[in-house]
Structure 1
Amino acid sequence: MQKCEKSHTAFDAVIFDWAGTTVDYGCFAPVQAFMDAFEEFGIVPTMDEVRAPMGMLKIDHVRTMLQMERLTAEWERIYGRPFTEEDVCQVYQLSEKKILENVPRFTDVKPYVTETVETLRRMGIKIGSTTGYTDEMMEIVAADAATKGYKPDCWFSPDSVDRKGRPNPYMIFRNMQFLGLTDVRRVMKVGDTVSDIREGKNAGLFTVGVIEGSSAMGLSREEFKALSPKEKEERSQQVRQMYMEAGADAVVTDIRGVLEYI
């Protein structure tokens, strides 16, 4: 008699980040918003300064930038005093306005996302999501992404957890509650920033960093394609090292790589 084997997976759910992981190759919507907001206050940040805190709650992102040595000095040079929490709030409010203006232009689903999610679902795996966006931003992004083939079973923003965003684990726990999951060992978190990795590890999840199209890489699809093979390898290795130092359990070239760990 032929023995029938029941297929099984190591995970019950995968929780993806949004910008830079599943949509918006290179994570440019928030980056441009932060650049524009700071420039309106007379400060021109570098791309590295903008991207370093990516994935955090947006007001924490602004505060972290203003605490950077060069930007702190620039603020004091321009305004003749140290920045205050009120200044943080003003820059943040402007950046949020800029993001809301930007996100409708940055909702394209990244390569291989729809196929990978379909494969996961055929395996019985649930799909959740966390994000650094607010509910208002997500209503735009999620609706547009759905028309382009990507719609997770649920998503939760910092608005859902009393504004306690990454690297806190609470958005992940809201996903697990909604999806009816109880074992953090059977949930995978996938993201494209150091904050994503820390969020996943703080929740006790197997956590994966995505290289191509990530905020950590910081390149558009065209810019990445224009690199030589050696340059691609060097940039990818830099991102891989960043994720591993943050505690990632695995690093994949693109989103298809998560299937190797299922």
Structure 2
Amino acid sequence: MQAKLEAVIFDWAGTIVDFGSFAPTQIFVDAFRLAFGFELSLEEARAPMGLGKWQHIEALGRDPQIAQRWRAQFGRAMSNEDIDHIYQTFLPLQAERVAAHADLIPGALEVVDNLRRRGLKIGSTTGYPRQVMEKLCQLAAANGYAPDCVVCADDLPAGSRPGPWMALQCVQNLAIGAVSHCVKVDDTAPGIAEGRNAGMWTVGVTLSGSPAGWTLQDFRAALPQAQARMRAQVGAQLRAAGAHELIDTVADLLPALARIEQRLAAGERP
């Protein structure tokens, strides 16, 4: 089999749409407040980004500082029933507000069109549940983006990130010949780990995603020194998770793919 890339599998919020990944993070804050009158900061809500949303709430409940405040407020640890209640509060809020954060990240459409012209397939995985993704997919399609495959956190019984299952489901759905001919593009450490655990090349997005937490206006206004600091800070997290390449935003993806293709042609594997 010729050693060439066959597919790119993109994350959604912070990678392809929703610069800064604001749709899910603010709604975690709101869901905790509405469900239990419990206060989270936006920074705390961002910390587990990339996980499935139920698992995200669970991870927040296990955070030592949050767990301490929860116990002080309620006299007990967060239970699975509490997580279920917050999750059920989260779902309608997310479905309602996802439209406000559905804009494509600049350059995304041009990059995807280039990949399609080269014969690559486009897959996608997400921590969003299917109920939310059905609406987001409609909005993205209206803006010109419709991947060949969408796998959601609640689609598979095995679970979601950082496990490999969603990425591997894309491999099956897209009929890919070799997992090593796939590239996973993501803005979070669990998303990068998903790709590595699936045996794929991985590209980490440093400035448009949740760890940076910048709006598009923040990004455009940032001085080169500020961009360099954020790039180094987020890049260290994504490298630690196993990213083979780092880019600022999806608009910078094509040169990174060219370098991966060179390594693949030279006999390297992820």
For normalisation by structure 1, the TM-score amounts to 0.93
Residues 151 and 169 of structure 2 are in contact (CA less than 8 Å); yes or no, is this contact kept in structure 1?
yes
For the pair 1:205 / 2:203, whether they are aligned, the reply is no
Q: Partners in 2 of 1:197 and 1:207 — Cα distance?
A: 6
Aligned to 1:222, what secondary structure does the other structure show?
helix
Q: Deviations over 1:154-183 (max 9, x none)?
A: 111123212611111111111111111131
Q: Deviations over 1:127-167 (max 9, x none)?
A: 01001111111110011111111111111112321261111
Residues 33 and 96 of structure 1 are in contact (CA less than 8 Å); yes or no, is this contact kept in structure 2?
no
Aligned to 1:159, what secondary structure does the other structure show?
coil
* Residue in 2 that maps onto 1:87: 82
How many residues were matched structurally?
Answer: 255
Superposed counterparts of 1:114-125, under 5 Å: 114-125=109-120
For the pair 1:99 / 2:108, whether they are aligned, the reply is no
* Residue in 1 that maps onto 2:267: none
* Residue in 1 that maps onto 2:236: 241
Q: Report how far residue 46 of structure 1 moved.
A: 2.1
For the pair 1:19 / 2:29, whether they are aligned, the reply is no
Residues 59 and 89 of structure 1 are in contact (CA less than 8 Å); yes or no, is this contact kept in structure 2?
yes
Residues 18 and 103 of structure 2 are in contact (CA less than 8 Å); yes or no, is this contact kept in structure 1?
yes
- Percent of aligned pairs sharing the same letter: 38
Q: Report how far residue 9 of structure 1 moved.
A: 7.3
Residues 17 and 192 of structure 1 are in contact (CA less than 8 Å); yes or no, is this contact kept in structure 2?
yes
Residue range with higher mean Cα deviation, 56-65 or 209-218: 209-218
One of 4, 12, 30 as aligned partner of 1:36: 30
Residues 23 and 94 of structure 2 are in contact (CA less than 8 Å); yes or no, is this contact kept in structure 1?
yes
Consecutive unaligned residues of structure 2, counting only runs of 5 or more, are 259-270
**Deviation beyond 4 Å, 4+ runs, structure 1:** none
Q: Report how far residue 104 of structure 1 moved.
A: 1.6
Q: Partners in 2 of 1:82 and 1:138 — Cα distance?
A: 31
Aligned to 2:155, what secondary structure does the other structure show?
helix
Report the residue type matching 1:24 in the other structure: D
* Residue in 1 that maps onto 2:184: 189
Q: Partners in 2 of 1:138 and 1:83 — Cα distance?
A: 27
Residues 57 and 163 of structure 1 are in contact (CA less than 8 Å); yes or no, is this contact kept in structure 2?
no
CA RMSD of aligned residues (A): 1.4
